[in-house]
Structure 1
């Protein structure tokens, strides 16, 4: 399951005859002069888009995408990347001294969805379509036969990307490409994890679906604006949707306010709201797949949750040997996200992926979401090219065919989340062989009983002030026994390290759920550390000494 490369595109938008308002909303006509928008003027507003999405949900899904011209369908990834949009034909190129601009992606290769693009005058609410034509692109060395593309103004586009001064036309800060996937950057200009418009049956009895954004409408911003608004129509086998994105391109981060209205075509076993997709290969806690000179490899290092009851939770990510799915029940969550909190280059040593620059993504629900669960799926991966972590909110209410529902939330793309508790926070998690004192090495007197040692570092908060009162680690596990608990002040991190050894009480290899937080008698001092540990098989629970003391 390649989630980094497989940003699935699907069929071209199918206009449904007889549907009230749709033919007007999507009518094509002779070109008109309005920058690169060359269609006739038509009325557009969000209410009309919602009505059309609802009407579309009452019709059968259009099915698989139609074929692309051979010269595009057979492109290699390198050839596809050689196709560049001509910045002189950007969407807002006719606005002098603009702060923002938009360019489009070419269809081709695996990006078969033919997406329609519209420019909207914010004052008059008139929209004009931007039709595809080859002169909008520079084909460079892609070896595309542009004769096959002549007259195909219905070819559409694969997606779009947005730019902000001073990097207009050079480095983009927002990208929508493939199905309903999109990404944004912070001030490092380094992309990392992705978000999606919606997730459908990611981990359920049904086959996972990847609905598509099939059309976008861009409100033309003022020249001085650093915020723009784009609307989107979503279409898929089981649901449709109308989306409004208000995208604030701030100096150090991108903030998106999202309003969606979803309409179910069918019963949906698992609906994911505010889904995000990331990669975790190895880190301080999971070294199994780190047979590389890089100390760590990951886009995100933890799932963070701020529950409806106010608890702050840090759950380090894993690269498990077997696919794992966890659901953390909550009611009216205050926030959650996949975070990348370690931004020290020394801990990655990567000059290709630049994992130290990758942003975190934090979801802030707007209004009350009710009961549900934050779902986390971790997929085994052998390397960094596979996105193997999926996270989203799943409403508790079943999704039935014909139902309508809506959610509002904000997405913060930034190095650090926009909110942090005043509690001590988890800095790092490490594991290793246990059963002997720190500073000793296992040898002939190594105990016969196998165990695993865990080390969790907490920094910040009021730990030093609370130390005279006595800091108590509160540890619970779903199986096994905890022994050798220690708490150490570590001067280099100006924080405290909790050490404990976990001993199995059976041969089971079922994942062990671990939970830890710090307190005094009067108060909670830290966020809650959650962890899922995978015990090895019984025949692997032993220390192996592979030293060779004689030549040979």
Structure 2
């Protein structure tokens, strides 16, 4: 399980700092470089591709040339938060470009050195670490830290809110993790470059080197290249980041296995679900809901839209959704009502959703959802990714492209009705009856709101076992949608897969609600 503090602490601290004004003085010199290297042709994805392919023919070798000193390894959480990049040293600040970059210091749990290069018209300039690039607050560190220390990652800024201020919109730090936000969104779920064997002896590849392409003065997007490494694979990546109301990251990647990989997770997302409206066991928390995402949304190759509410199970739960050339999938934060969270610090109602849109034909495979038990919101316990049907072997090359949209409203993705809540409670009239449960599902959306008030809809409900009884569909004037409720009778303790949707005649009006009910592991 991934500790959220590992990937959130620097980002969270940034939110409390006023955005850097674009009208600040530009007299501060830019970050120094060790050397400049002129490449034969303009630097592009092919350069990183060749590097990754060459490394895949060699055994994995951990870089020990830049070992982290003990005084940085032993930093505590609060001490590390004091290590901040100086805003007046921001990359490209003096050039008055629409994008600037700042860098993360190594220390605490960020122990790997990440090499960072700047690409400017075919010239590669590796960045040199300097203690003078950072402030350290109350954390006392030696004045002679080695110049070879390097960085842990970087942040990107763009004037999202207005033209006068820079706002952080993306960050790459820790293993192959990266994240982004759009306008008026707060930091939430993360993406990853790659997932390997998640749920069983997981391996965490990491970005060992980045190349940041200098944007021009009119740029609305920025390109970043990355080299990924691990014991099992190498990889070449190109990220094109376009910040806006919805920030979109276009990803191209080529993966080269050093050995056979049993389960390769492509386009992985990582999030947190502690408890929500569908949690039917007691939570000792003043907040009604605590989660970064509340459901999996999927548009499969046959055109069906599926909604799977997330859960915090008592045992590890892995569910696979078979598909052929998926149209899209992602982790959504649909509930945008502050009253359902009551959190004045975390702003869960403003956490972004992330939608993966494959580019090209991905073929057969599964969308896999991993739900890990957690007893606190500090842990990322939800993982989602695509697994190709065929395992990759040594000597193969897997290339894929996709877009990630960090968004606030997923209703724009589809025109049909969608699930806005799932609630579960005791069924029947016997308060001790554990074999009968009631499910209440709210559907809403333009497809339902515009129906005549006397329209009669049918709820189609199916289960892998047990018996569905007392099914009712009602118009809900408060949501302007429809409510479906039914009861499930079960005779044993095995999990039950449930599906439901609304239709009028032969016309399906909503996405398909999909849920796993475990009578003993609620």
Asked if these proteins are the same fold (TM beyond 0.5), I'd say: yes
Residues 180-237 of structure 1 show CA distances to partners (whole Å, capped at 9, x for unaligned) of: 0011112124100000000001034xx2111110111111111232211010000111
Instruction: Give the SS at the match of 1:187.
Output: coil
Residue in 2 aligned with 1:529? Answer: 513
Say if 1:447 and 1:221 are closer, same or farther in 2 by CA, change over 3 A.
Answer: closer
The answer to whether the Cα contact below 8 Å between 2:30 and 2:90 also exists between their aligned partners in 1 is: no
Cα distance in 2 for partners of 1:6, 1:266 equals: 29
The answer to whether the Cα contact below 8 Å between 1:279 and 1:299 also exists between their aligned partners in 2 is: yes
Quick check: 1:128 aligned with 2:125? yes
Cα deviation, residue 246, structure 1: 0.4
The answer to whether the Cα contact below 8 Å between 2:30 and 2:91 also exists between their aligned partners in 1 is: no
Residue in 2 aligned with 1:459? Answer: 444
Residue in 2 aligned with 1:24? Answer: none
Which residue, 239, 249, 258 being the options, matches 1:245? 239
Larger Rg over CA atoms:
1
Say if 1:289 and 1:224 are closer, same or farther in 2 by CA, change over 3 A.
Answer: farther
Cα distance in 2 for partners of 1:408, 1:500 equals: 41
Cα distance in 1 for partners of 2:434, 2:89 equals: 70
Residue in 2 aligned with 1:67? Answer: 67
Cα deviation, residue 450, structure 1: 4.0
Residues 371-403 of structure 1 show CA distances to partners (whole Å, capped at 9, x for unaligned) of: 010000000111111110000000111111121
Quick check: 1:92 aligned with 2:92? yes
Say if 1:117 and 1:337 are closer, same or farther in 2 by CA, change over 3 A.
Answer: same
Residue in 2 aligned with 1:368? Answer: 361
Residue in 1 aligned with 2:103? Answer: 104
Quick check: 1:473 aligned with 2:472? no
The answer to whether the Cα contact below 8 Å between 1:466 and 1:520 also exists between their aligned partners in 2 is: no
Cα distance in 2 for partners of 1:63, 1:348 equals: 43
Cα distance in 2 for partners of 1:83, 1:449 equals: 53
Residues 61-111 of structure 1 show CA distances to partners (whole Å, capped at 9, x for unaligned) of: 113756311221111111111011012221112212x22100000011111
Residue in 2 aligned with 1:192? Answer: 188
Quick check: 1:275 aligned with 2:268? yes
Cα distance in 2 for partners of 1:301, 1:368 equals: 28
The answer to whether the Cα contact below 8 Å between 1:412 and 1:418 also exists between their aligned partners in 2 is: no
Residue in 1 aligned with 2:19? Answer: none
Cα distance in 1 for partners of 2:164, 2:211 equals: 21
Say if 1:73 and 1:505 are closer, same or farther in 2 by CA, change over 3 A.
Answer: same
Say if 1:272 and 1:419 are closer, same or farther in 2 by CA, change over 3 A.
Answer: farther
Cα distance in 1 for partners of 2:282, 2:123 equals: 54
Cα distance in 2 for partners of 1:167, 1:281 equals: 37
Residue in 1 aligned with 2:20? Answer: none
Cα distance in 2 for partners of 1:119, 1:277 equals: 29
Residue in 1 aligned with 2:83? Answer: 83
CA-based RMSD of the aligned residues comes to: 2.1
Instruction: Give the SS at the match of 2:379.
Output: coil
Residue in 2 aligned with 1:492? Answer: 478
Residue in 1 aligned with 2:14? Answer: none
The answer to whether the Cα contact below 8 Å between 2:158 and 2:166 also exists between their aligned partners in 1 is: no
Residue in 2 aligned with 1:47? Answer: 46
Residue in 1 aligned with 2:309? Answer: 316
Using the size of structure 2 for normalisation, the TM-score is 0.91
Cα distance in 1 for partners of 2:253, 2:275 equals: 35
Residues 143-196 of structure 1 show CA distances to partners (whole Å, capped at 9, x for unaligned) of: 11132x1xx332210000011125988741111110000111121241000000
The answer to whether the Cα contact below 8 Å between 1:370 and 1:395 also exists between their aligned partners in 2 is: yes
Using the size of structure 1 for normalisation, the TM-score is 0.86
The answer to whether the Cα contact below 8 Å between 1:83 and 1:106 also exists between their aligned partners in 2 is: yes
Superposition map of 1:160-171 within 5 A: 160-165=154-159, 166=162, 171=167
Quick check: 1:224 aligned with 2:208? no
Which residue, 477, 487, 490 being the options, matches 1:501? 487
Cα deviation, residue 311, structure 1: 0.4
Cα deviation, residue 357, structure 1: 0.9
Residue in 2 aligned with 1:301? Answer: 294
Residue in 1 aligned with 2:504? Answer: 520
Cα deviation, residue 125, structure 1: 1.2
Query: Alignment length, in residue pairs?
Result: 495
Cα distance in 2 for partners of 1:174, 1:403 equals: 31
Instruction: Give the SS at the match of 1:95.
Output: coil
Superposition map of 1:408-419 within 5 A: 408-417=401-410, 419=412
Q: Structure 1: which 5+ runs fail to align?
A: 9-32, 437-441, 541-552
Instruction: Give the SS at the match of 1:329.
Output: strand
Cα distance in 2 for partners of 1:216, 1:411 equals: 19
The answer to whether the Cα contact below 8 Å between 1:481 and 1:505 also exists between their aligned partners in 2 is: no
The answer to whether the Cα contact below 8 Å between 1:105 and 1:159 also exists between their aligned partners in 2 is: yes
